[in-house]
Amino acid sequence: MTWIEKEVPSLELCKRLKELGFPQGGSGLYWSRWYVNEPFRVIFSPDGEKFCGWVGEDYVEYQPPIEKYKAPTCREIIERIDTTDQKYVTSDRLAKDLIWLVENEYMEFREGR
Q: What is the pLDDT along the chain (113 residues), one digit of tens a residue?
A: 777 788 899 999 999 999 999 999 899 999 999 899 999 988 888 888 888 876 556 677 888 888 999 999 887 887 777 655 566 666 777 777 778 878 888 888 887 65
d(CA 53, CA 42): 10
The letter for the amino acid at 44 is F
Dist CA 27 CA 38 (whole Å): 23
What is the pLDDT, as a whole number, of residue 76?
Answer: 84
Quick one: 68 exposed, middle or buried, by C-beta within 10 A (0-12, 13-18, 19+)? buried
Dihedral of alpha carbons 48, 27, 9, 112, sign: positive
As a dihedral over the C-alpha atoms of residue 19, residue 12, residue 61, residue 53, rounded to 10 degrees, the angle is 130
